Amino acid sequence: MKVILEDIENTGIEIKAESCFAFDGGKFESVIFTGRLLPVGDKKSEFYLDGKITAKVVMPCDRCLEAVSLELGGDVNVRIVRTSAEELPEELELEDDDVSAYTVEGDELETDEITEQEALLLLPMKVTCAKPCGSELIKDENDEIVKEGDPRWDALNKLKNN
Ligand SMILES: [Zn+2]
């Protein structure tokens, strides 16, 4: 959702946006953000984006590479600092607690760019199928064969020994 920062009232504006995008290692089928964009102070140079993300992501299973669908959710609470090209570099230097701040140049903010970055932060390191699969499945089958096979081999061994 595109927002003109200069037009934002002191009470902020409601943001409801949905997007989808692919990333290195999977695809977000939907990223839904609902929340508010609020200005900090009167200068319209700093804003807070507050809200919630719900997302559907498809990633390959870590074991068998089958596509696994996941639903993710999380809170978003980020600072947005508006910068302009004319500002001197030292004025753009951020304080320690500004590490998580996003910067936007000029008057227009695309909230999807922020919500997509935040959605990526919700991703698990890896996903696996709910059921055993891939090498897990092979291991399980071998376990069963060993268990089931034991009595039969016992009988055979007895015959051999006799
Ligand atoms: Zn799998």
The verdict on 13 and 82 lying in the same domain is yes
Distance 135 CA to ligand 1 centre (A): 9
The verdict on 140 and 161 lying in the same domain is yes
Closest to 67 in 3D by CA, of 122, 8, 22: 22
The verdict on 118 and 107 lying in the same domain is yes
Residue 11 has pLDDT above 90, yes or no: yes
Closest to 53 in 3D by CA, of 36, 30, 76: 76
Please compute the mean of the pLDDT values over residues 89-111 and round it to a whole number: 72
The verdict on 19 and 87 lying in the same domain is yes
Distance 70 CA to ligand 1 centre (A): 13
Distance 31 CA to ligand 1 centre (A): 24
* Res 155: pLDDT: 63
Question: The domain containing residue 82 runs over which residues?
Answer: 2-128
The verdict on 81 and 153 lying in the same domain is no
Cβ atoms of 109 and 5 within 8 Å: the answer is yes
* Res 61: pLDDT: 95
Residue 36 has pLDDT above 60, yes or no: yes
Tally of domains in the chain: 2
The verdict on 46 and 95 lying in the same domain is yes
The verdict on 149 and 92 lying in the same domain is no
The verdict on 138 and 79 lying in the same domain is no
Half-sphere exposure (Cβ direction) of 63: Cα atoms closer than 13 Å? 12
List, for residues 115-150, the tens digit of each pLDDT value: 999 999 999 999 999 889 977 776 666 666 555 555
* Res 124: pLDDT: 94
